[in-house]
Copies of this chain bind each other. A is one copy, B any other.
């Protein structure tokens, strides 16, 4: 009785991991031709979301899906490729200001339809109204 509840719990956890791993895998493959990692792509999208306003490193970190310990070096790579610009905040010289460049915007514009279609393909597999139910349930897990 208790054992069965436990088993359902295990199944739920493992199914979640597998689904996420499967989606990540698919997205990474889709991004490969663009020479950018999923993490880098997400950071670029965060910067685009700023609509011209600067984002601090700490802000980016907070909004990342996978909080990682070394966002500096991840952004270094985006700067090397000229997708991101970095400058020191004048009001508080401890902070840095991050912007997406035009080249970065152009890259996202090229990637968007590919990723969008990829995501649609994945989510289409859900039963009718599955999307809303899934979102509701998943959100319960993270609070």
**Interface residues, chain A, CB within 8 Å of chain B?**
6, 8-25, 65-67, 116, 119-120, 122-123, 125-127, 130-143
Contact = CB atoms under 8 A, between A and B. Distances in A.
Nearest to A118: B13
Given A126-B140, A127-B137, A137-B130, A17 B23 contact: yes
The complex is assembled from copies of this chain, and their number is: 2
A42 to B, nearest CB: 9
A19 B142 contact: yes
Nearest to A136: B127
A141 B11 contact: no
Nearest to A66: B21
8 contacts: A8-B131, A14-B65, A15-B138, A16-B20, A17-B23, A18-B65, A20-B21, A23-B141
B16 A19 contact: yes
Nearest to A141: B19
Given A133-B133, A134-B16, A21 B65 contact: yes
Given A127-B140, A134-B137, A119 B65 contact: no
